[in-house]
């Protein structure tokens, strides 16, 4: 047989042959190696070494929860999980999953630099990423670390001309059970340059939802329509600074920049700007990115809307699209101009009777603070409503809340209002019965 190079010496893990010295990637809290099942199926083996002291028990449980959920729910754009082994004798956890031969998006575009110019191909990838994200959210899974390095590329041998992208690495994910009151989270995690503004808040003030995945996906798409950085990576850069962009040795994460602008009331910048000299399709993609990267979570489109907008562009690349306004003032960061129309035939997502119930339960002294801090309602709207209904607090509250509902159509409006009110509840501004009927 001859000498076998040490790099080719495998180990056996529960029916899998794993080439432990051929690391093909690193994920949250673990390394990934090529593997093969006894039945001949190529796999990727992720090893979590519990002896390292770097892996919280919670992280292991989170990935196991995702494994259990995704094992029974397959989707073309989610990496397939095959097996999950905890080897107590070795103090190791092994996760066996689908092998994607092209690696992550960074590796893919480094190997195929010509494809960076193929806007339609990248648009197809964006549609797939959005579809996978929509699927995760519909199954109550928040990924919390969407980035090019966690998106793998696989080619279906039956359709070799089409590359399939798959969301991977669920080490930081959160799976919600049926008894969870809300999808709000407060653990700081994720990769800095793809994190949403709300995750950069001071300790004790962090409070976020699945919207962080949409923001991260938006920045991933932004990086896909920009040139690779000097290290050959997909790296999102603010486009709205133009010639005034500072030259920084270490760029400040976009999410942190947006939050700092709001906190310090400094000069506002847009994350994304359309360029009339560039590809029309790329500019339509920018409109979607712009709505995914709103500084205020309740102003962002959800994964479903993001997918449908991108699919609309894909189906008709030369068309002019309009991304639905969800309430962001034009003067704010990343906001879509006010003249962008809402769809015709708008129907409120929350009945007026429910709005009135909320209005009656919120103390008058706290309504203004809730509107400005948690619902993102413009100050002039609050002031005008208060002025018009000085003698009737409930009517003033109703007008303020109704203005939010009018700008937040769609099936997720009830959840967004519920989560926003819960933030106020956590701060002790209102009691739990204000939002309890919105569950």
- DSSP annotation of 362: S
**Which domain covers residue 429, as residue numbers?**
352-438
How far is residue 417's CA from residue 421's CA, in Å, rounded to a whole number? 6
Q: How many C-beta atoms lie closer than 10 Å to residue 363's C-beta?
A: 13
pLDDT score of 72: 65
Query: Do residue 311 and residue 209 come from a single domain?
Result: yes
Query: Do residue 205 and residue 189 come from a single domain?
Result: yes
Query: Does residue 328 form part of some domain?
Result: no
Query: Do residue 201 and residue 291 come from a single domain?
Result: yes
How far is residue 295's CA from residue 255's CA, in Å, rounded to a whole number? 8
Q: Taking 60 as the threshold, does the pLDDT of residue 246 lie above it?
A: no
Q: Which two tokens stand for residue 216?
A: 């991260």
**Sign for the pseudo-dihedral over CA of 307, 313, 315, 321:** positive
Query: Does residue 124 form part of some domain?
Result: yes
Of 267, 296, 315, the last residue of a domain is 315
Query: Does residue 219 form part of some domain?
Result: yes
Residue 3 banded pLDDT, cuts 50, 70, 90? very low
Query: Do residue 116 and residue 50 come from a single domain?
Result: no
Of 291, 315, 339, the last residue of a domain is 315
Q: What is the CATH number of the domain that holds 94?
A: 3.30.200.20
Among the listed ranges 287-291, 298-302, 317-321, which one has the minimum average pLDDT value?
317-321
φ, ψ (nearest 5 deg) of residue 12: -115, 130
Q: How many C-beta atoms lie closer than 10 Å to residue 59's C-beta?
A: 18
Of 270, 287, 315, the last residue of a domain is 315
Query: Does residue 345 form part of some domain?
Result: no
Query: Does residue 332 form part of some domain?
Result: no
Residue 24 banded pLDDT, cuts 50, 70, 90? confident
Q: Please state, rounded to an integer, the average pLDDT across all residues of the chain.
A: 76
Query: Do residue 311 and residue 362 come from a single domain?
Result: no
Q: How many C-beta atoms lie closer than 10 Å to residue 199's C-beta?
A: 24
Query: Does residue 431 form part of some domain?
Result: yes
Q: How many C-beta atoms lie closer than 10 Å to residue 1's C-beta?
A: 3
Query: Does residue 395 form part of some domain?
Result: yes
Q: Taking 70 as the threshold, does the pLDDT of residue 266 lie above it?
A: no
- pLDDT (tens digit per residue) in 163-178: 999 999 887 788 765 4
Q: Taking 90 as the threshold, does the pLDDT of residue 357 lie above it?
A: no
Q: Any idea what the Cα angle at residue 160 is, between residues 159 and 164, rounded to 5°?
A: 80
Query: Do residue 377 and residue 399 come from a single domain?
Result: yes
φ, ψ (nearest 5 deg) of residue 46: -100, 125
pLDDT score of 221: 97
Query: Does residue 266 form part of some domain?
Result: yes
Task: Report the percentage of the chain scoring pLDDT > 90.
Answer: 21
Among the listed ranges 51-60, 296-305, 385-394, which one has the minimum average pLDDT value?
51-60
Q: How many C-beta atoms lie closer than 10 Å to residue 190's C-beta?
A: 23
- pLDDT (tens digit per residue) in 196-209: 888 876 555 555 67
Region of 29 (left: φ > 0; alpha: ψ -120 to 50; beta: rest) is: left
Q: What is the CATH number of the domain that holds 357?
A: 1.10.533.10
């Amino acid at each position: 047989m001859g000498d076998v190079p040490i790099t080719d010496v495998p180990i056996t893990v529960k029916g899998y042959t794993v080439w432990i010295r051929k690391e093909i990637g690193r994920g949250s809290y673990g390394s990934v190696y090529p593997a093969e099942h006894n039945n001949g199926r190529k796999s990727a083996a992720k090893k979590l070494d519990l002896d390292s002291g770097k892996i919280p028990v919670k992280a292991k449980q989170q990935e196991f929860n995702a494994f259990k959920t995704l094992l029974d729910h397959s989707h073309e754009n989610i990496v397939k999980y095959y097996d999950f082994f905890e080897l107590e004798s070795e103090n190791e956890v092994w996760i066996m999953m689908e092998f994607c031969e092209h690696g992550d998006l960074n590796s893919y575009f480094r190997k195929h630099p010509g494809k960076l110019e193929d806007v339609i191909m990248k648009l197809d990838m964006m549609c797939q990423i959005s579809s996978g994200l929509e699927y995760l959210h519909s199954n109550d899974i928040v990924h919390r670390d969407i980035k090019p390095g966690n998106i793998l590329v696989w080619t279906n041998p039956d359709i070799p001309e089409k590359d399939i992208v798959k969301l991977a690495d669920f080490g930081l994910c959160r799976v919600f059970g049926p008894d969870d009151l809300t999808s709000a989270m407060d653990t700081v995690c994720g990769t800095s340059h793809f994190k949403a503004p709300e995750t950069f808040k001071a300790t004790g003030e962090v409070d976020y939802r699945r919207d962080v995945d949409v923001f991260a996906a938006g920045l991933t798409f932004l990086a896909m329509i920009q040139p690779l950085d000097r290290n050959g990576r997909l790296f999102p850069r603010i486009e709205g600074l133009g010639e005034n962009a500072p030259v920084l040795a270490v760029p400040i994460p976009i999410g942190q920049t947006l939050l700092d602008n709001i906190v310090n009331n400094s000069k506002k910048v847009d994350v994304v700007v359309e360029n009339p000299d560039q590809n029309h399709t790329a500019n339509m993609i920018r409109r979607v990115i712009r709505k995914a990267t709103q500084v205020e979570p309740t102003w962002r489109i959800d994964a479903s809307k993001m997918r449908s907008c991108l699919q609309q562009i894909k189906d008709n690349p030369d068309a002019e699209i309009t991304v639905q306004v969800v309430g962001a003032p034009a003067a704010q960061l990343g906001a879509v101009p006010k003249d962008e129309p809402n769809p015709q035939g708008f129907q409120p997502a929350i009945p007026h009777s429910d709005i009135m119930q909320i209005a009656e339960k919120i103390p008058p002294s706290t309504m203004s603070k809730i509107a400005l801090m948690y619902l993102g309602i413009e100050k002039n709207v609050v002031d005008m409503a208060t002025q018009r209904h000085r003698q009737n607090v409930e009517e003033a509250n109703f007008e303020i809340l109704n203005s939010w509902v009018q700008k937040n159509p769609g099936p997720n409006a009830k959840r967004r209002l519920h989560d926003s009110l819960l933030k106020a509840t956590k701060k002790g501004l209102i009691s739990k019965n204000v939002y309890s009927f919105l569950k």
